[in-house]
């Protein structure tokens, strides 16, 4: 079903757009903002003025959207969605707001009067990096689509004062610096002094005379809302990201203050404030930290109290809460939500268990983002008991009833019961023998829908980590393949390609990305191919200029731009990419006069601060780059550059310039990927494994139009089960052996044979991600890439076919699928 039909019923209160008065209002706001600014206005002043003016417009739209949603009625087919996520990787907002409001030309002129160019002003905005990577960026794309589709919704997150760390490089090594993104203030957020909720921690549970249970927390914090407004582009709807800021309920201990003990007086305040400090900088390991659990609990509690308050305002009763509201868990981080919702319904609103549980099950749904068992959060019981005693009681009760159900359905299957229990009794891997609460299990038991993020991932999810649950409740598991917003990732990031596409098929793709398929018959048009290449070439020059500015390295804009940008992780196999660079380097040195296709390999990405192997890979990229880039025998036949501090803004500059997209994770490890989609949308060809959404992309634009290589999931499993020996591959392949030997012997580390010993040992010993097994095919496929690049017409044709096939990968389609399969009232029956 098309998204537009689903939402047709909501459009009764549709607001029509009238650009001219907006432009007028904008000019007034800009003048007011600039009144106090020095003359000529600095770029920062212009940026803030423009943001403030946009915000004013959007705030009105926000109020109108809320009013329209409040009237949606008891029988609305679409529930209001509450998207709970510990991460939102928003990036900059001004360019998006300007495009949404249709103010590009107005602002271009206004800035020109001040002697400034629009892109230079936009660059002054801080990048809101309140997320680690793909999971957080997905949440940000979803907010854009919520607005675009007119879905009644709230995104809920935390207002971290320091986002993802800023990555610096010193002597080729990653150094982490705090990312002080609020330093210049945040023009987008609207502090909501009127939206505040108390959130408790610790203390004990008291039992009243009538047997009802009451939690008496030892510590109470106040969560206050800050709203971040996200505009639609083709209507006047806006969506909201509501971020919570914690403070102490009693900010200072007045007695201590009067005694002159200032540190003592401020203790509560500092403890509360710590919750706001930083985004937990790791999305792949069990954090095991009290502060993180407090952050999660605060997000969940404040968001659900907000939902309940709004629902009571709108409907006056809680009985239809589950029918009117969806609560979505973006991974297990907010998986405390069902326990907190039960607590609120039982203890604060006097509901009986069965009704509260039915409502919870209706409301809650959960997206799994990874098959790696170590990434499924588990909290030690003692920590839960200390911080959230009432929640633990409720979890025990949920588990007790669940176990009773299983006893009836699967009599005698003790193994099943202990595997699916919400409580890990004996302490599994990494538990140190303590009992733990399994948050993923809580999320599944309490959800009416659980989904994976690409077809392969959803399949593997029910075959591996959640196999037991899929046996118990097969109807609960679904797939919703990820997508990206075409507004940010094509329209704004790549204005030249956007105009070229507009000139051939019109502007409709911005709203309905499926319209890109109209490009398909045009792929044979040589003139379009040449124009396409001209656009790409200009984008490459822009990236080349950035590389020169940032790193002092001159790269040839006529070389093939081969790009891998994403979090640094062993399973994503940046190391395989570097091994190929070394192989190519050795081949060029051995045969410098061969007809080499000049290549510039670009890598960017952050490594989790405690992840030594990932940091070692970053260092190797620098070491290899230094040697290769300065070797006169190589010249511009090969360059390897590492661009520091990967972020949404950096991605927006790099993607439009990419010609080859590296999506080379070991088959079965990348849940979906969304970087892969952004590249293809910008006309890069993909060299990729049969993994995540690569598969669905290949199916969409034709497998023959992707450089597909490597072992597939079944082959990976088979090789591993037969006893994989990476050394055999090295011994058999002279090229691979030479590459490994060069790294091990210190050729890239100034003779230091120690630096990469751990890395090489791991490759030759376990090689869990099968780099050695995939190396030969990868290198051979890279040669096929070269061959095609030598035929520009053929390359252009394929690039256009890639873009033409990307219509399905819009986050608008993803959200329409969520509505259909997970969030609609229909999904409850």
Ligand X SMILES: *Cc1c(COP(=O)(O)O)cnc(C)c1O
- Per DSSP, 490 falls in state I
Encoded one letter per residue, x for contact with ligand X by CB under 6 A and - for no contact, window 65-94 reads ------------------------x-----
Catalytic residue chosen out of the listed positions 72, 572, 637, 798: 572
**Residue 106 to residue 536: CA distance in whole angstroms:** 27
Taking the least distance from each CB to ligand X, the nearer of 244 and 778 is 778
95 interacts with ligand X by CB under 6 A: no
Taking the least distance from each CB to ligand X, the nearer of 133 and 807 is 133
Residue 466 CB, nearest approach to ligand X (Å): 22
**Residue 499 to residue 519: CA distance in whole angstroms:** 13
Residue 467, both tokens: 């196999």
Encoded one letter per residue, x for contact with ligand X by CB under 6 A and - for no contact, window 432-451 reads --------------------
490 interacts with ligand X by CB under 6 A: no
**Residue 749 to residue 623: CA distance in whole angstroms:** 6
Distance in Å from the first CA to the final CA of the chain: 18
**Known catalytic residue: 713?**
no
Enumerate the β-bridge partners of residue 198: 222
Would you list the DSSP string of 92-104? Answer: --HHHHHHHHT-H
Among 388, 648, 667, 773, binds ligand X (CB under 6 A): 648
**Known catalytic residue: 567?**
yes
Taking the least distance from each CB to ligand X, the nearer of 346 and 493 is 493
Taking the least distance from each CB to ligand X, the nearer of 90 and 304 is 90
Catalytic residue chosen out of the listed positions 674, 686, 781, 814: 674
Among 167, 494, 674, 810, binds ligand X (CB under 6 A): 674
Residue 663 CB, nearest approach to ligand X (Å): 7
The burial of 712, by beta-carbon neighbours within 10 Å (0-12 exposed, 13-18 middle, 19 or more buried), is given as: middle
Q: Which of residues 123-162 bind ligand X (CB under 6 A)?
A: 133-134, 137
Q: Quick one: CA dihedral 693, 694, 695, 699, positive or negative?
A: positive
Residues 6+ apart with CB under 8 A from 135: 85, 87, 283, 330, 331, 369
**Known catalytic residue: 292?**
no
Residue 454 CB, nearest approach to ligand X (Å): 11
673 interacts with ligand X by CB under 6 A: yes
Catalytic residue chosen out of the listed positions 48, 573, 678, 798: 678
Tell me which residue has tokens 């006309």.
683
Instruction: Output the residue with the shortest Cβ distance to ligand X.
Output: 675
Residue 74 CB, nearest approach to ligand X (Å): 39
367 interacts with ligand X by CB under 6 A: no
- Per DSSP, 162 falls in state B
**Known catalytic residue: 720?**
no
Residue 489 CB, nearest approach to ligand X (Å): 8
**Known catalytic residue: 2?**
no
Size of the site for ligand X (CB under 6 A): 14
Taking the least distance from each CB to ligand X, the nearer of 134 and 172 is 134
Half-sphere CA count of 600, side-chain side, radius 13 A:
24
Residue 827 CB, nearest approach to ligand X (Å): 27
**Known catalytic residue: 572?**
yes
Tell me which residue has tokens 């398909």.
520
Residue 693 CB, nearest approach to ligand X (Å): 9
Residue 134 CB, nearest approach to ligand X (Å): 3
Taking the least distance from each CB to ligand X, the nearer of 605 and 625 is 605
Residues 6+ apart with CB under 8 A from 677: 482, 483, 484, 489, 693, 697, 806, 809
Q: Is 204 within 8 Å of 216 (Cβ atoms)?
A: yes
651 interacts with ligand X by CB under 6 A: yes
Residue 199: left (phi > 0), alpha (psi -120 to 50), or beta?
Answer: beta
Half-sphere CA count of 740, side-chain side, radius 13 A:
24
647 interacts with ligand X by CB under 6 A: yes
**Residue 60 to residue 37: CA distance in whole angstroms:** 26
Taking the least distance from each CB to ligand X, the nearer of 380 and 668 is 668
Q: Which of residues 551-570 bind ligand X (CB under 6 A)?
A: 566-567
675 interacts with ligand X by CB under 6 A: yes
- Phi, psi of 438, rounded to the nearest 5 degrees: -95, 105
Query: E-assigned strands of 671-794?
Result: 685-688, 707-708
Taking the least distance from each CB to ligand X, the nearer of 388 and 651 is 651
By annotation, the residues acting in catalysis are: 369, 566-567, 572, 674, 678
Residues that bind ligand X in the complex, under the rule CB under 6 A: 89, 133-134, 137, 566-567, 646-648, 651, 673-675, 678
């Amino acid at each position: 079903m098309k998204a537009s039909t689903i939402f047709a019923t909501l459009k009764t209160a549709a607001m029509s757009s009238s650009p001219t008065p907006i432009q007028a209002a904008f000019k007034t706001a800009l003048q007011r903002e600039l009144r106090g600014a020095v003359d000529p206005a600095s770029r920062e002043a212009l940026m803030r003025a423009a943001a403030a003016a946009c915000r004013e417009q959007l705030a009105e739209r926000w109020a109108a959207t809320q009013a329209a949603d409040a009237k949606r009625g008891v029988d609305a087919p679409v529930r209001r969605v509450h998207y709970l996520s510990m991460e939102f990787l928003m990036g900059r907002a001004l360019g998006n707001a300007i495009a949404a409001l249709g103010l590009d030309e107005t602002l271009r002129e206004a800035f020109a009067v001040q002697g400034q160019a629009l892109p230079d002003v936009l660059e002054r905005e801080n990048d809101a990096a309140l997320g680690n990577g793909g999971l957080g960026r997905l949440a940000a794309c979803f907010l854009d689509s919520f607005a675009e589709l007119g879905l009644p919704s709230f995104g809920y997150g935390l207002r971290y004062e320091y986002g993802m760390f800023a990555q610096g490089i010193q002597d080729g090594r990653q150094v982490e610096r705090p990312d002080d993104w609020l330093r210049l203030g945040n023009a987008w957020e609207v502090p909501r002094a009127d939206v505040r909720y108390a959130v408790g921690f610790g203390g004990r549970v008291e039992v009243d005379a009538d047997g009802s249970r009451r939690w008496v927390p030892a510590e109470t914090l106040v969560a206050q809302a800050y709203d971040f407004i996200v505009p639609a582009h083709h209507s006047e709807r806006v969506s909201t990201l509501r971020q919570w800021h914690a403070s102490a309920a009693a900010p200072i201990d007045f007695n201590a203050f009067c005694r002159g003990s200032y540190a003592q007086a401020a203790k509560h305040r500092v403890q509360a404030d710590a919750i706001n400090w930083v985004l937990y900088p790791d999305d792949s390991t069990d954090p095991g930290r009290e502060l993180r659990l407090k952050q999660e609990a605060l997000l969940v509690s404040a968001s659900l109290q907000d939902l309940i308050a709004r629902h009571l305002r709108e409907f006056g009763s809680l009985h239809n809460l589950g029918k009117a509201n969806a609560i979505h868990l973006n991974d297990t981080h907010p998986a405390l939500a069902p326990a907190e919702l039960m607590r609120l319904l039982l203890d604060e609103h006097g509901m009986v268990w069965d009704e509260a549980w039915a409502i919870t099950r209706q409301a809650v749904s959960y997206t799994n983002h990874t098959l790696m068992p170590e990434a499924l959060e588990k909290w030690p019981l003692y920590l839960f008991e200390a911080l959230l005693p009432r929640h633990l009681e409720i979890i025990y009760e949920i588990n007790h009833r669940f176990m009773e159900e299983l006893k009836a359905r699967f009599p005698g299957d003790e193994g099943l019961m202990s595997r699916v229990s919400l409580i890990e009794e004996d302490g599994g891997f990494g538990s140190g023998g303590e009992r733990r609460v399994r948050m993923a299990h809580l999320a599944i038991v309490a959800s009416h829908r659980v989904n994976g993020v690409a077809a392969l991932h959803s399949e593997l999810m029910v075959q591996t980590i959640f196999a037991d649950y899929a046996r118990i409740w097969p109807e609960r598991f679904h797939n919703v393949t990820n997508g990206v917003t075409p507004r940010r990732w094509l329209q704004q990031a790549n204005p030249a390609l956007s105009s070229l596409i507009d000139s051939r098929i019109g502007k409709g793709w911005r709203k309905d990305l499926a319209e890109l398929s109209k490009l398909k018959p045009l792929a044979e048009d040589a003139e379009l191919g040449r124009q396409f290449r001209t656009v790409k070439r200009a984008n490459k020059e822009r990236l080349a200029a950035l590389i020169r500015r940032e790193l002092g390295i001159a790269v040839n804009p006529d070389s093939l731009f081969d790009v891998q940008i994403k979090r640094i992780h062993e399973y994503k196999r940046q190391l395989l990419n570097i091994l190929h660079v070394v192989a190519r380097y050795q081949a060029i040195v051995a045969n410098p006069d061969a007809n080499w296709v000049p290549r510039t390999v670009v890598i960017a990405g952050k490594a989790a601060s405690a992840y030594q192997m990932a940091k070692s890979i970053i260092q190797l990229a620098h070491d290899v780059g230094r040697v290769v880039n300065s070797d006169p025998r190589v010249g511009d036949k090969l360059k390897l550059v590492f661009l520091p501090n990967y972020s949404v803004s950096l991605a927006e500059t790099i993607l439009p310039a990419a010609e080859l997209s590296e999506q080379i994770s070991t088959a079965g490890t990348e849940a979906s990927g969304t970087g892969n989609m952004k590249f293809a949308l910008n006309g890069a060809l993909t060299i990729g494994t049969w993994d995540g959404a690569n598969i669905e992309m290949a199916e969409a634009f034709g497998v023959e139009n992707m450089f597909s290589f490597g072992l597939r999931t079944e082959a990976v499993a088979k090789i591993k089960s037969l006893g994989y020996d990476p050394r055999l591959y090295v011994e058999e392949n002279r090229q691979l052996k030479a590459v490994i030997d060069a790294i091990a012997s210190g050729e890239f580390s100034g003779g230091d044979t120690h630096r990469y010993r751990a890395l090489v040992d791991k490759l030759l010993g376990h090689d869990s991600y099968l780099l050695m097994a995939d190396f030969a095919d990868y290198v051979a496929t890279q040669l096929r890439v070269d061959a095609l690049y030598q035929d520009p017409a053929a390359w252009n044709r394929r690039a256009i076919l890639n873009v033409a096939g990307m219509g399905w990968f819009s986050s608008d389609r993803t959200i329409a699928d969520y509505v259909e399969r997970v969030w609609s009232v229909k999904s409850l029956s």
